[in-house]
């Protein structure tokens, strides 16, 4: 991850925790390993697999983890060829045949995994024909077969609580770029997204939007707060709340139980969903930080990516959040289709104008499943690189961007990303604000500053 690895902490995998919980409830013996959080080498992991000899192994695969999964699957097949290897998550879901052609796994679970994996293991255990299992793509005597999709889970509240007891939560006790310095748990209020942003695959993977009952969400928060002493919760939704009414209802439920005095929570939201009154109410209910996808400082680019917001929308909601004394995190993208140096600098200037507490400047990355990927998949750079799909972690050390807009170069794009980080964070007023609000420690600021300064002088050589 390069020089920015200091800021990259393990993130609890909500999907894996749900699947583990569903399997356990049905009587399966489950073992969960987070190789990154557990700091486990491939050799150690393979030794564990050899000793434990499981019937099946599942990997959760995002695009940037496919090369690592390929290596592990190859080694597993050497030491335990009879073990069934199952892949899931976004990348295998949207590119199932391609994934099986490049990774020596046996089965792909597409889309939501809870019900599919449960039925799949039953079929494997009883050596039944897999043709009846909806939602999988699999190998059969050298042929790749693609079964029909499984319907989405109708009621998300029917799922058991995530099996967090399988994780050493002390290893997930900080998110430096979100101001977390304690154990936190992810939680979700919905699956799916009603928006169709050009660079996102949410609406492609989870068809339709399903919303949990507010009471059930607060029940879950109260349960883990009481049972495990968790004081921080991070909503794992594409945006929260789905509408102002839902947000007010959630806040009222937290406040009525007194949880607003005992927990803090973090959300990602859209600038066109919140308002003055809701920002104020969420602050009262314990909201600590909002992450906004501002994306661009160019109205033209916002329209091209179907963001369906304006620059004024962003400015208005930032004023509301600031008035409510909420911490804010701005997400910006550089190098989207149609961009040039001028539009990228508009984004940098807009980020400075909004002046969120924290900001991230990603280099536009066409992840599989997005319309962005579909439009440019035949011309992408470094598609097979293990680091090719890393959007912002020191791209200069990882082979450069996957996508470069016409008329720009990789060096220009990387230079603009570094310029954005330097201009945003290397301001005395910003540094003082971060320390005063305790969003970043002095150690984090000093390390980040050294990286930014070294990048600056490295570029000038």
Map out the domains of the chain as residue ranges. 10-146, 173-460
CATH class of the domain whose range is 173-460: alpha beta
Q: Check residue 395 and give left, alpha or beta (phi > 0: left; psi -120 to 50: alpha).
A: alpha
Would you state the pLDDT for residue 385?
43
What is the pTM for the complete model shown? 0.90
Partnered with residue 360 across adjacent β-strands are 331
Higher-pLDDT residue of 12, 174: 12
Question: Whole-angstrom Cα distance, residue 329 to residue 419?
Answer: 18
| Residue 451 clears pLDDT 80, i.e. is over it | no
Would you state the pLDDT for residue 8?
64
Would you state the pLDDT for residue 1?
43
What is the pLDDT confidence band of residue 382, given thresholds at 50, 70 and 90?
Answer: low
In this structure, are residues 32 and 16 in contact, taking their beta carbons and an 8 Å threshold? yes
pLDDT tens digits for range 322-339? 999 999 999 999 999 999
Would you state the pLDDT for residue 392?
38
Work out the average pLDDT over 389-395. Answer: 44
Would you state the pLDDT for residue 187?
97
- 32 — phi, psi (to 5°)? -110, 130
CB-CB neighbours of 5 under 10 Å: 10
B/e letters for 121-159, b = 16+ CB within 10 Å, e = fewer, are: beebeeeeebeebbbbbbeeeeeeeebeebebbeebeeb
What's the chain's average pLDDT?
89
DSSP of 229-279? ---EEEE-SSSS-SSHHHHHHHHHHHHHTTGGGT-EEEEEE-TTT--HHHH
Residue whose token pair is 């993208």: 333
Question: Whole-angstrom Cα distance, residue 347 to residue 361?
Answer: 9
Partnered with residue 58 across adjacent β-strands are 86
Would you state the pLDDT for residue 434?
83
| Residue 7 clears pLDDT 60, i.e. is over it | no
Q: How many CA atoms lie within 13 A of 281 on its CB side?
A: 19
CATH class of the domain whose range is 10-146: alpha beta
pLDDT tens digits for range 198-232? 999 887 777 789 999 999 999 999 999 999 999 99
| Residue 383 clears pLDDT 50, i.e. is over it | no
Residues counted in the chain: 461
Would you state the pLDDT for residue 369?
87
Peptide bond into 88 cis (omega under 30): no
At a CB cut-off of 8 Å and minimum separation 6, what does 336 contact? 198, 199, 295, 296, 301, 304, 305, 364, 405
Q: How many CA atoms lie within 13 A of 344 on its CB side?
A: 28
Higher-pLDDT residue of 305, 64: 305
| Residue 265 clears pLDDT 60, i.e. is over it | yes
| Residue 13 clears pLDDT 90, i.e. is over it | yes
| Residue 455 clears pLDDT 70, i.e. is over it | no
Lowest mean pLDDT among 146-155, 248-257, 396-405: 396-405
**Which pair of structure tokens corresponds to residue 257?**
């139980």
């Amino acid at each position: 991850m390069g020089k920015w690895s200091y800021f990259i902490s393990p993130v609890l995998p909500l999907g894996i925790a749900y699947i583990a919980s569903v399997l356990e409830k049905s009587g399966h013996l489950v073992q969960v390993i987070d190789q990154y959080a557990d700091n486990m080498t491939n050799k150690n992991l393979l030794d564990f697999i050899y000793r434990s000899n499981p019937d099946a192994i599942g990997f959760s695969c995002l695009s940037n983890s496919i090369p690592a999964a390929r290596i592990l699957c190859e080694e597993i097949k050497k030491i335990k060829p009879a073990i069934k290897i199952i892949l899931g998550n976004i990348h295998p879901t949207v590119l199932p045949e391609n994934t099986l052609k490049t990774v020596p796994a046996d089965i792909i679970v597409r889309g939501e995994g809870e019900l599919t994996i449960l039925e799949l293991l039953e079929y494997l255990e009883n050596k039944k024909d897999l043709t009846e299992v909806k939602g999988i793509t699999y190998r059969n005597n050298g042929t790749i077969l693609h079964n029909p999709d499984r319907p989405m889970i109708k009621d998300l509240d029917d799922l058991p609580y995530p099996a967090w007891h399988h994780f050493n939560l002390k290893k997930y006790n900080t998110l430096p770029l979100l101001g977390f310095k304690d154990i936190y748990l992810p939680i979700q209020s919905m699956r799916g997204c009603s928006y169709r942003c050009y660079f996102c695959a949410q609406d492609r993977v989870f068809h339709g939007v399903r919303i949990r009952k507010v009471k059930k969400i607060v029940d879950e928060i109260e349960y883990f707060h009481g049972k495990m002493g968790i004081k921080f919760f991070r909503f794992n939704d594409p945006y929260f709340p789905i509408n102002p009414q839902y947000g007010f209802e959630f806040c009222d439920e937290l406040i009525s139980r007194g949880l607003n005095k005992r927990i803090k929570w973090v959300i990602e939201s859209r600038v066109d969903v919140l308002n003055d009154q809701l920002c104020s109410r969420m602050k009262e209910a314990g909201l600590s930080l909002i992450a906004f996808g501002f994306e661009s400082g160019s109205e033209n680019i916002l329209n091209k990516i179907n963001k369906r917001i304006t620059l004024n929308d962003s400015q208005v909601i930032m004023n509301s959040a600031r008035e409510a004394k909420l911490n804010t995190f701005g997400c910006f993208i550089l190098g989207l289709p149609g961009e040039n140096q001028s539009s990228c600098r508009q984004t940098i200037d807009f980020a400075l104008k909004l002046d969120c507490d924290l900001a991230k400047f990603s280099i536009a990355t066409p992840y599989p499943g997005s319309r962005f990927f579909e439009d440019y998949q035949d011309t992408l750079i470094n598609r097979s690189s293990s680091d090719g799909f890393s959007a912002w972690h020191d791209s200069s050390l990882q082979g450069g961007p996957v996508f470069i807009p016409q008329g720009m170069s990789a060096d220009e794009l990387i230079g603009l990303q570094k310029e954005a980080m330097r201009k945003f964070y290397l301001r005395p007023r910003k540094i003082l604000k971060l320390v005063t609000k305790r969003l970043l420690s002095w150690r984090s600021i000093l390390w980040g500053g050294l990286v930014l300064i070294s990048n600056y002088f490295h570029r000038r050589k």
